[in-house]
Structure 1
Amino acid sequence: MIARILTFPLILILAGIASIMMLLPTIDALMRNDTSVARAFGYSAILGMALVMIIGLAMSGRERREISDSQNLVSLLLAYLILPLFLAVPFYEGVGNTTFLNAYFEMVSSFTTTGATLFGATGRLVDSLHFWRALVGWGGGLLIWISASAVLAPLNLGGFEVTARAEPGQDDARAGRFQRASPAKRLAQITAGLAPVYIGLTGALWVILMMGGERAFVAMVHAMSTLATSGISSIGGVHNGASGFGGEFAIFLFLLFALSRLTFSSDTITSARPGVLYDPEFRLGVMLVLGVPLLLVARHWIAAFEVVEADNFAVGLRAFWGGMFTVLSFLSTTGFESADWQAARDWSGLGTPGLVLLGLSLVGGGVATTAGGVKLLRVYALYLHGKREVERLVHPSSVGRSTRAGRRIRRHGAYIAWVFFMLFAMSLTFVTLLLALFGQDFESSLILSISGLSTTGPLIILASDTPIRLFELSAGAKLCYGAAMVLGRLETLAMIALLNPAVWRD
């Protein structure tokens, strides 16, 4: 049965899964006696499953060739562009007083794990619609976990190109690692291996947050948003929750899964010694999580020594914790704000450290995780290359000391990472210009561009003195921002790989 289903295109399989997922908000709305929302999701689920079955029956009558990795990549792109149209139907009917463009934008934001919302006002959405937003974001996070190994890795994309021998968008003929199984079988094996881990981690965090005093529904939404790094919340953020420091600490620990894929899988080993503690991505991420808050705390004595009313040890610890949690949250492109973040800002003397948050979101998390951004592995490759160039300037006759994998990252990996960084900068410039063309000022255009390309929606609220109100954007600006979210989720190299004729060659 499963083997038969896997012969269909990936986009059709995802549409069927989305139809089944719509039954969950239906049950939730029925338990709340909200029949209008329940009908919207129930009818959409039935119609969606019927449409998927009709298309499947129409395709099953003819003999098809095995689906290739490039076709799965196209299906992944279509999933981010077209599937939100279907996901937006029950959301649009459930809200009732919004446009379909706004509903589509909301689903693109959730599915790409960006988390930017047009419905941030308290009481604007009922809990069942918040549940659907979180569920779509959670499913988008699981899709990234699976597609990273099943779709992007065989084509050396999504960060795998830094350590691969082949060119981005092409198979590594010497690896032989991904040639043992067909794309469909590999997709099934990776799903069977990662889905239980993803579901189990989400359930564990849900239980921990409830034990900390959080309401069950809010705990579930925050647990799903943490694992997916979507930053979606039904109460405006974790700082408004009832679990307090214990809940923030639990979320902090689970956000560490976004720093390195080695925290939950072993298919992206980038160091000679096994284990997450030797992973350069995890080490670099931990260094940023500890270093940036220390700088903010140290600034109290360096540049803001005149602020004496908060000069005590307890407030200093609160400021350090608030900075550490918020730094990890934005480094993982989640965007949750700590309840002590205001204390960290007051302690450091910085009113709105928007540049710090923008820089952390640009760096991003680990390769093949739910985090967006440039990715830590690419930053590490550029660091290795820069370090070696400085050594050669000091000692021109020196010989680099590194393993074979380290030399490959320092040379080929750094070159590819620099190419990606330039493409990312060009994309950022282009999106900023487009948003400015649609009426946004420079600061708003830049924040929106970085927020979309790094899939960090809460940046629009915390990165500037005046929060950007998405519902005030024009239709063209919303579509541009939505396209930036899709581009940031799939990355520019994957888009270019789709234009490469070698990808489509048998």
Structure 2
Amino acid sequence: MLYSLGYGGAMLALAMLVPLLVSFFTNTAVHTQNFVSGILICGFLSGAMIISGRATRTRSHELDLLLLMILYWAFLPLIAALPMASALQIDGFIAAYFETVSGLTTSGASLLGAPQIETAPLLVWRALLGWIGGLWIIVFGVAVIAPFAIGGLRISDNPLLQHDVGDSAVARLLRPLRIIFPIYAGGTIIGVVALLLSGMPLLDAFCLGLSAISTTGFVVSNLPLAEIYSLPAQSILAMLSFVGAMSMPLLVLTILGRSHIAQLFTLRNDELRLFVIFIVLYAIISAIFSPHHIYREFLQAISFASTAGFAFTDINSAPIFWTLILPIIGGCALSTAGGIKVMRVVILAKGIGADLRRLIYPSLVSTIRLDNKRLEPQDINSMWAFLSLFFLIYMGGLLIMGALGLSFAQAWVMVAATLSNSGAILNAHNVLDIPTMSDGLKIASGLLMIIGRLEFPVALVLFTSAFRQFIR
């Protein structure tokens, strides 16, 4: 456990070298000191965990992997928050922890009401947190979520799932990481270069490129994107967000040549096809009732569906319920996007259709298939359990937010955005002033972001008797 967690901390320590170099070139001495301190503390703690855990490496247990996933998003932000505490608009460590959790969960809710007044090293570090969080999400998704079919998500016949029964937790994570990292990093580099060619400044291109492909939604200015960037630049951001919200297993099969590229572009994949349909329908309906051009509504629909939350239009002109529909549904399974996931919507629709057919023809034996693969009854049951937990946690979140002083109109938006990891919408919409939240609201919303990112059944593992026995 400690051995695997130490590698996550080491990754953060290495990532801090990037904003440290930026601080050298921008002559921001205070941030140079902060990042040096962060690297030393993070490196020392990570090294200690790796050394102490090396002798106890064993075959990965299911609960071991689930607990490791929880610790990655609950404990490691404590270390990553150290440099963030020096930001001009961050007041105290709780605020720094909130900002870090928002990044690593790719939620994008930010306490920086005016990011443009912050220095380049902090903006770079914030973008890197979202990018690293997106990478972790995909790796843990294929190493933990998919093999255990948590919430009905299951993949098969994919090189990402190959592992030996006796593998340790580190080996289980490193195997998919070796395949995913080149694809993820390559897409990021292409996106950043494309943004530079569109006329975007280097700092903006780097931060927004990382933020888009990880579907975090962090921006470097509170000015509308349409005012400061060209339409081609906005289109590239939307495209990067779309790629980030696509299923990584599908991308891997396509890139490795095990699936025809035509399958990707002819939308033969059930989940991807429905994802595109949602985007197109949303854009058309929005354009009918909006003064914006349909192309801008299309870009906005991609931003919402991917849970990136970039504001390509004035989202305050639309009802907040309409704004949150696509983020709640979310992107494709095993992607950087948040939300319920389109795959679960597909399973839900097919399950309801099968039940309706059985009502008409009681003796009918129907088989539910997804991409020509038969779904097992436990997959359907897992999906229903996931949705039930979503609504139970949502109602609990409403009660907590209400107790902390939010009105119902504010609370339901806050809970929906944080659970779906689409918090960037909160900064773009005027329903709630994020930078002025109390510490209690920061802690509660940060917890909801972590729960939403972990997939709800994983978070509830902590309260099971099996987990208590495992700890003993």
TM-score in terms of structure 2 length = 0.88
Task: Report the counterpart of residue 172 of structure 1 in structure 2.
Answer: none
Task: Report the counterpart of residue 423 of structure 1 in structure 2.
Answer: 389
Contact 2:153 2:344 in 1 (8 A): no
Please point out which of 473, 485, 506 is paired with 2:437: 473
SS in 2 for 1:155: coil
Task: Report the counterpart of residue 108 of structure 2 in structure 1.
Answer: 115
* Equivalent-residue separation in structure 1 for 2:376 and 2:76 (angstroms): 39
Q: C-alpha displacement at 1:354, in angstroms?
A: 1.3
Q: Report the residue type matching 2:293 in the other structure.
A: A
Does residue 323 in structure 1 map to residue 309 in structure 2? no
* Equivalent-residue separation in structure 2 for 1:8 and 1:224 (angstroms): 29
Task: Report the counterpart of residue 106 of structure 1 in structure 2.
Answer: 99
Does residue 284 in structure 1 map to residue 286 in structure 2? no
- Percentage identity across aligned positions? 24
1:155-194 → structure 2 map (5 Å cutoff): 155-157=148-150, 159-161=152-154, 178-179=163-164, 182-183=167-168, 184-194=170-180
Task: Report the counterpart of residue 226 of structure 1 in structure 2.
Answer: 212
Q: C-alpha displacement at 1:134, in angstroms?
A: 0.6
Task: Report the counterpart of residue 453 of structure 2 in structure 1.
Answer: 489
Please point out which of 260, 270, 287 is paired with 1:297: 287
Q: C-alpha displacement at 1:400, in angstroms?
A: 3.6
* Equivalent-residue separation in structure 2 for 1:493 and 1:181 (angstroms): 25
Task: Report the counterpart of residue 27 of structure 1 in structure 2.
Answer: 21
CA-to-partner distance for each residue in 1:223-250, whole Å, 9 max, x for gaps? 1011110001112377157541111222
Contact 2:100 2:126 in 1 (8 A): yes
Task: Report the counterpart of residue 90 of structure 1 in structure 2.
Answer: 83
Please point out which of 134, 137, 140 is paired with 2:133: 140
1:218-257 → structure 2 map (5 Å cutoff): 218-236=204-222, 239-240=225-226, 242-257=228-243
Task: Report the counterpart of residue 441 of structure 1 in structure 2.
Answer: 407
* Equivalent-residue separation in structure 2 for 1:502 and 1:213 (angstroms): 55
Q: Report the residue type matching 1:329 in the other structure.
A: S
Unaligned 5+ runs, structure 1: 1-6, 165-175, 301-309, 311-317
* Equivalent-residue separation in structure 2 for 1:471 and 1:238 (angstroms): 18
Q: C-alpha displacement at 1:295, in angstroms?
A: 1.8
* Equivalent-residue separation in structure 1 for 2:224 and 2:253 (angstroms): 31
CA-to-partner distance for each residue in 1:271-325, whole Å, 9 max, x for gaps? x99933221110111001111121223447xxxxxxxxx7xxxxxxx52112111
* Equivalent-residue separation in structure 1 for 2:200 and 2:92 (angstroms): 33
- Structure 1 window deviating more from structure 2 (366-375 vs 488-497): it is 488-497
SS in 2 for 1:265: helix
CA-to-partner distance for each residue in 1:326-353, whole Å, 9 max, x for gaps? 1111111110111xx24xx7xxxx9323
Unaligned 5+ runs, structure 2: none
Contact 1:378 1:417 in 2 (8 A): yes
* Equivalent-residue separation in structure 2 for 1:299 and 1:357 (angstroms): 13
Task: Report the counterpart of residue 346 of structure 2 in structure 1.
Answer: 380
Task: Report the counterpart of residue 333 of structure 1 in structure 2.
Answer: 307
1:22-101 → structure 2 map (5 Å cutoff): 22-60=16-54, 62-95=55-88, 98-101=91-94
Contact 1:229 1:333 in 2 (8 A): yes
* Equivalent-residue separation in structure 2 for 1:102 and 1:33 (angstroms): 25
Task: Calculate the aligned-residue CA RMSD, in Å.
Answer: 2.9
The 3 A distance-change label for structure 1 pair 238 and 189 is farther
Does residue 208 in structure 1 map to residue 194 in structure 2? yes
CA-to-partner distance for each residue in 1:202-242, whole Å, 9 max, x for gaps? 00000001000000110111110111100011123771575
Contact 1:260 1:366 in 2 (8 A): yes
- Structure 1 window deviating more from structure 2 (204-213 vs 75-84): it is 75-84
The 3 A distance-change label for structure 1 pair 33 and 383 is same
Q: Report the residue type matching 2:307 in the other structure.
A: T
- Structure 1 window deviating more from structure 2 (40-49 vs 100-109): it is 40-49
SS in 2 for 1:440: coil
* Equivalent-residue separation in structure 2 for 1:365 and 1:390 (angstroms): 27
Contact 1:363 1:374 in 2 (8 A): yes
* Equivalent-residue separation in structure 1 for 2:150 and 2:224 (angstroms): 33
CA-to-partner distance for each residue in 1:38-92, whole Å, 9 max, x for gaps? 11101220232133323433444x4543343432321221121111111111111
Does residue 127 in structure 1 map to residue 120 in structure 2? yes
How many pairs were matched up? 457
* Equivalent-residue separation in structure 1 for 2:24 and 2:34 (angstroms): 11
Q: Report the residue type matching 2:22 in the other structure.
A: D
* Equivalent-residue separation in structure 2 for 1:249 and 1:96 (angstroms): 30
Q: Report the residue type matching 1:327 in the other structure.
A: A
- Structure 1 window deviating more from structure 2 (177-186 vs 488-497): it is 177-186
The 3 A distance-change label for structure 1 pair 8 and 85 is closer
Q: C-alpha displacement at 1:369, in angstroms?
A: 0.6
The 3 A distance-change label for structure 1 pair 468 and 181 is same
